[in-house]
Amino acid sequence: MRRITFRVGVSEVVSSMIILLIVVIVGVMLYLNLYYTATLNQQILSKELIEEEIKAQEHLSLLLVTGSSTSNNITIILASGTNPVNIVSIYVNDTLAISYNPPLTLGSLEVYELTVESPIELTTNSIIRVKVIFKGGTVESWGEVS
C-alpha cells in the first residue's frame, strides 16, 4: 500500500512576490521618513534664517560718548538701524547707569542723543567706557570727560 503525502507550501512565484512587496513597502517607508526629516530641517533652518535676518537689522551704533565733570552727566549719541531698537540698560565703566523697564524704543534710521547721570564720579581728562545693551546685542564705546 502506498501512502499519500500532501506537500503544503508556497510556490516560488508567490514567495518572490511577497518578498518584493515587503521590500517595496520598506523602501517607501524609508523614503517618506527621509523626505519628512529633510522637509522639517529645511523649515527649521528657514525660520532660524529669518530670525537672524531680523536680528541683524536691529543694529545700533554708538557715534559719540562725552562726559561732563561739572554736571556728572554723560551724553551718548546713538544711530539706529533699519528696524526699531529696544534699549535695555546703559553701563558706565561696568557700573549700571540706567535700566529701562519697559525698554526704551528707538525708531528706525534715526540719530538720538541720550543724557545719562553717571553712576561714578567723573574727573576731567579721564576716559570712560559706555556699554549700551539692547535686545539685539551690545555696543560699547570709549569717551573723554571734559
Q: Which residue ranges make up each domain of the chain?
A: 10-57, 59-145
pLDDT tens, residue by residue, 13-52: 888 999 999 999 999 999 999 999 999 989 999 888 888 7
Query: Would you state the pLDDT for residue 137?
Result: 84
Report pTM.
Answer: 0.62
pLDDT tens, residue by residue, 53-88: 776 667 888 888 999 989 989 999 988 888 888 889
Q: Cα–Cα–Cα angle for 88, 133, 79, nearest 5°?
A: 100
Radius of gyration (C-alpha) of the chain in whole angstroms: 34
Residues 6+ apart with CB under 8 A from 119: 92, 95, 96, 97
Q: What's the CATH class of domain 59-145?
A: mainly beta
Report the alpha-carbon distance of residue 71 to residue 118 in Å, rounded: 9
